[in-house]
Amino acid sequence: MDVDADVDAVAHELYGLVPGRFTAARDERAARAREAGQAQAARAIAGLRRPTRAAFASNLLVRRRPKEVAAFLELGEALRQAHRSLDGTQLKDLSHQRHVVVAALARTARQLAEGEGQVVSESVAHEVEQTLHAALADPDAAEQWSDGRLTTALTPPVGFTGLPAAAPVRPQPAVTRADAPAKPKPKPKPSREAEQRRARLEQARRTAEETGAEATAREAELRGAEQEQRDHDQALAEADAQVAELERQLREARTGQAEARRALAEATVRVRDAARAAGAARRKADAAADRSAELAGAQE
């Protein structure tokens, strides 16, 4: 039996659960492993830590948006390769793109978590953004994040890590009017290394744009789905109101029906009693008439 594979499968399952269900599910899986005689696996499972809300949202993003995650990891690799050689203008442009993509993915993670009933505060959302920045800057953090099993938010390093050593870019001395050349010198032909850096930068930019566009499209789909949900909620509320009104009318009609049946029964009894009384009265009247006729004939 491959204990590591078994624990790995359980961990993958557990870190897909909302934090509120994690502990009970973990303890149940550990108990099940102990009952099966898998003491080592039981200890490993029992040692799994419950994820924070920020970690859960980050894990959920990795599990639900694999295409965006793959593009984001490519962006991080391109950024780490291109970062050392960029000048101020390029760094500013690329930094802006990085923040746009991070903000878009953080919003997606927040919406996914809220869709699972989890409250995502501003501080939690900030931790999700910090985790994404860490995944961009540090390859080790990127590996942890992309595994989808974080227990807590990641902290981005200062600058980018995992980069080869490179000499710092030195500022060019200012050119004074006295030593300014009469004619501009021709620009040197870019080296192969410079061309490769520009190619990596361009790839990083394209990846950032594609990732941002994909995130924007997903957000638009989410807004459309949310609007459709609101429309259905409203339609359901209106239908519920109609059903409630019809049920009220039905209750009133049934009450009226019961009252009408009681009144009919009482009227039927009164008709029967009146018929009996009328029959008795008619018989008395007929008998009196017959008696009167007999008396009149005797006198004659």
Report pLDDT digits (tens) over 217-273: 666 666 666 666 766 666 677 778 778 887 888 888 888 888 888 888 888 888 888
Q: Are 41 and 3 in contact (CB under 8 A)?
A: yes
With a CB cutoff of 8 Å and minimum separation 6, the contacts of 53 are 19, 113, 118, 119, 120, 121, 124
| 211 vs 290, residue with greater confidence | 290
Model confidence pLDDT, tens digit, residues 145-192: 999 999 999 999 876 654 444 434 334 444 444 444 555 555 555 567
pLDDT of residue 249: 87
With a CB cutoff of 8 Å and minimum separation 6, the contacts of 57 are 109, 110, 112, 113, 118, 120, 124, 128
pLDDT of residue 225: 64
With a CB cutoff of 8 Å and minimum separation 6, the contacts of 204 are 75, 78, 79, 81, 82, 94, 97
Q: Are 99 and 55 in contact (CB under 8 A)?
A: no
pLDDT of residue 210: 67
Closest C-alpha among 138, 160, 129 to residue 58: 129
pLDDT of residue 174: 44
Token couple for 66: 């694999």
* 47 burial via Cβ count (<10 Å: 0-12, 13-18, 19+): exposed
pLDDT of residue 82: 75
pLDDT of residue 62: 96
Residue 139 confidence class, pLDDT cut points 50, 70, 90: very high
pLDDT of 294 over the 60 cut: yes
Place of tokens 């694999």: 66
- Average pLDDT (112-131) is 96
For the chain, percent of residues with pLDDT exceeding 70: 69
Residue 141 confidence class, pLDDT cut points 50, 70, 90: very high
Can you tell me the distance from the alpha carbon of 46 to that of 31, in angstroms, rounded to the nearest whole number? 9
pLDDT of 144 over the 90 cut: yes
Place of tokens 């409203």: 234
Indicate the range of 43-57, 92-106, 119-133, 160-174 predicted with least confidence.
160-174
Can you tell me the distance from the alpha carbon of 216 to that of 240, in angstroms, rounded to the nearest whole number? 36
Instruction: List alpha helices for the chain, DSSP H.
Output: 3-14, 19-35, 39-46, 53-64, 66-82, 88-115, 122-137, 139-146, 192-299
Indicate the range of 90-94, 126-130, 175-179, 267-271 predicted with least confidence.
175-179
pLDDT of 100 over the 70 cut: yes
pLDDT of residue 89: 67
| 36 vs 162, residue with greater confidence | 36
Highest mean pLDDT among 7-11, 201-205, 256-260: 7-11
Can you tell me the distance from the alpha carbon of 235 to that of 30, in angstroms, rounded to the nearest whole number? 46
Closest C-alpha among 174, 210, 204 to residue 91: 204
